[in-house]
Structure 1
């Protein structure tokens, strides 16, 4: 008897590649739903894993749903997965259409549209910052005058990801400029770019994320991740570390709020990544939730630190099988991200780590001679590396020491509008 096929919505990126590899290793035929432009950029080894593909337009979700469902039925697909933030709602709708395990298609939008997310959190009693949807300058002024918002506050697009278009503002003038940035922020597949944006009360404290799996309504928390974030108006993530041990009472409160958020977003079968702020007095506020595995190499951190095969677990949950989520190791892992000090042309790079003992993963994304940006979103990172070990302090010290060795030179370039482009490792000086 043949195994059910596995369908990935957009198989680009290293996380999707690992997921495809895990499915193929278990004997499943792996298929991808993709766009023509995205498929052209798939690595040869990924293309070699695929038994089939359906090319569609994710910017037209209704049509994409019909086309992908028809393909899935022809190919005997029994599991649908995505690690793409922008496709989680489509994944939930497709799972419902095919009758395979997935998230609630009615509430799935609450994990993508942040206005719907705020409403769902309020209805479910989740502790979250007060959030106002505004569509005009008058509504923006009214939101800023609301004592439940105040200054500082956060202005962000309603459907963005990776901190794109997000600004922390301290006065009305800054809020007006931040609103323009949020309105102009356009995500993948044409999402965003409309007149709706969010004004949110600022939550002060330490930022964490909680990495969880839910299966049949039962949630297992794999790890709490500490997040390193820049200060100032743009809060870009510069590192992740896990697992973090919180005081028992605070951890229980965090898990309680995270589980309420998971239910509010209709997450029933799959991974979730919940961003929280813990204040100095131990109170937890849920900032956002994603119906996916955490990005920024968090899956690799879990795998190396705790011995949990997250890719196999994602596959098992999608197939309706019990997933192995118990740690088999008691280690620690951290990732550091390299960013540019300012916008311009990248002319040299020295000291970027190589893989080796305790450094299982390195990735450089920017080409020497290419244009780079001052970090304003997570997508502006130039590269990253993972450090692992048994002692948390030693791992943190080594990760920071390796980061200090990295030397990049960026020459100013007029009208810098370039995107980060991949580079071959031959362009990287040791």
Structure 2
């Protein structure tokens, strides 16, 4: 009996990684994980039951982690290296290249992680993208704000962040200092580079979308355009995703053209990509960022239920160098809504949260009753999510909005926020 090649996941925690691990195990591939000691200790029984082994390493030290991962992979017959973790896509590209496996260009992979490198790569490749400038101190910040190419409002963000953490829209110099401090504090799970440098980016007005693509041997296939629901104000958090979106043909062509240029600029040759774009009132697409991974926030699940594409198996086949099956087998629509708290406090009760059933294939509540919740300033602050799917886009969206309006959470003051939250306040959840 021929043993199938092993599959190594860099950080196997989380629902997306779990689905990927299950897809590999179902097809008979030994599944391995690379994890920090803390993450390894926290692996749940379901994940442990799927894993053939784990290499414990310090993923915050890429050089040492690369040595540990490649040595382990060679010993255990690993034939594919994957990650769904935004912070580890560069390391995945380096490991795949060192092992001679399908992956992304290791020389350009940093452009999908470091937003300063990304902006330079986009500009060099002719991608339509906002003017961006890095600052490290108050003198550089003042000079950047005086540059007419930046303008106001502008966006301040960490160089290597993810999930909207530390991202602020500022309307002038008075708010810029606090925004820079917030960006510096949002280091993420795997910080790297100069901790004082942050990115200022010209604000792109318009409708927000993302494009979900899978590239094999340098040829991208665009699976869907996703509409983003985003909170307003100075701190923007994604509150929902819906796909597929049908754009006017000429607009869609421009979106795909810009996204393909961004994919090439970031060196994405074999794997998923999630490209965030803004389309203005004239139909012009501007690329904001790209990630060399599947879109988070249950986008893979939306693709599965709306289009009938098994993205987990497609990712696996791509990493193994096999042709991926990407042709849609359904013509439906799917949307996810995220529940957030309107203010900080202690969560004392929850009612009206949907249950799985016909047209509602997925629900997840993350916040324990009695625990602290915060006003959402990053995607990680979401309290729960549910997915609605069906054949008619308008009906799916209407049902999702109705379910969201029916959710009630009750908050009591948390000691340090007692002055901000009215005792026993009851709030409806709405986009």
- Identify the TM-score tier after normalising by the shorter chain: over 0.9
SS at 2:349's partner residue? strand
Distance 2:101 2:412 in 1: 52
Which residue number in structure 1 is paired with residue 144 of structure 2?
Answer: 143
What is the CA distance between 1:37 and its match in structure 2?
1.1
Which residue number in structure 1 is paired with residue 325 of structure 2?
Answer: 324
What is the CA distance between 1:412 and its match in structure 2?
2.2
What is the CA distance between 1:344 and its match in structure 2?
1.3
Superposed CA RMSD in Å reads 0.9
Which residue number in structure 2 is paired with residue 184 of structure 1?
Answer: 185
Which residue number in structure 2 is paired with residue 348 of structure 1?
Answer: 349
- Quick check: 1:364–1:382 contact (8 Å CA) kept in 2? yes
Distance 1:109 1:193 in 2: 14
Gaps of 5+ in 1: 417-430
Which residue number in structure 1 is paired with residue 25 of structure 2?
Answer: 24
Q: Does 1:237 align with 2:245?
A: no
SS at 1:408's partner residue? strand
Distance 1:31 1:74 in 2: 12
Which residue number in structure 1 is paired with residue 47 of structure 2?
Answer: 46
Which residue number in structure 2 is paired with residue 379 of structure 1?
Answer: 380
Which residue number in structure 2 is paired with residue 366 of structure 1?
Answer: 367
Q: Does 1:246 align with 2:244?
A: no
- Quick check: 1:183–1:193 contact (8 Å CA) kept in 2? no
Distance 2:309 2:70 in 1: 31
What is the CA distance between 1:2 and its match in structure 2?
1.3
What is the CA distance between 1:192 and its match in structure 2?
6.8
* Distance verdict in 2 for CA 1:193–1:408, change over 3 Å: farther
Distance 1:191 1:242 in 2: 33
Aligned pairs for 1:46-65 within 5 A: 46-65=47-66
Aligned pairs for 1:160-239 within 5 A: 160-191=161-192, 194-239=195-240
SS at 1:117's partner residue? helix
Which residue number in structure 1 is paired with residue 405 of structure 2?
Answer: 404
SS at 1:109's partner residue? helix
Gaps of 5+ in 2: 418-431
Write out per-residue CA displacement over residues 63-83 of structure 1, whole angstroms, 9 at most, x where no aligned residue: 000001100000000000000
Structure 2 length-normalised TM = 0.95
What is the CA distance between 1:193 and its match in structure 2?
7.5
Which residue number in structure 2 is paired with residue 118 of structure 1?
Answer: 119
What is the CA distance between 1:226 and its match in structure 2?
0.1
SS at 1:261's partner residue? helix
Distance 2:397 2:211 in 1: 19
Runs of 4+ that moved beyond 3 A:
190-193
What is the CA distance between 1:251 and its match in structure 2?
0.2
Distance 1:346 1:43 in 2: 25
- Quick check: 1:209–1:224 contact (8 Å CA) kept in 2? yes
Paired residue total: 416
SS at 2:190's partner residue? helix
- Quick check: 2:160–2:191 contact (8 Å CA) kept in 1? no
Distance 1:402 1:192 in 2: 43
Instruction: Indicate the larger mover: 297-306 or 403-412.
Output: 403-412
Write out per-residue CA displacement over residues 267-300 of structure 1, whole angstroms, 9 at most, x where no aligned residue: 0000000000000111100000000000000000
Which residue number in structure 1 is paired with residue 309 of structure 2?
Answer: 308
SS at 1:415's partner residue? helix
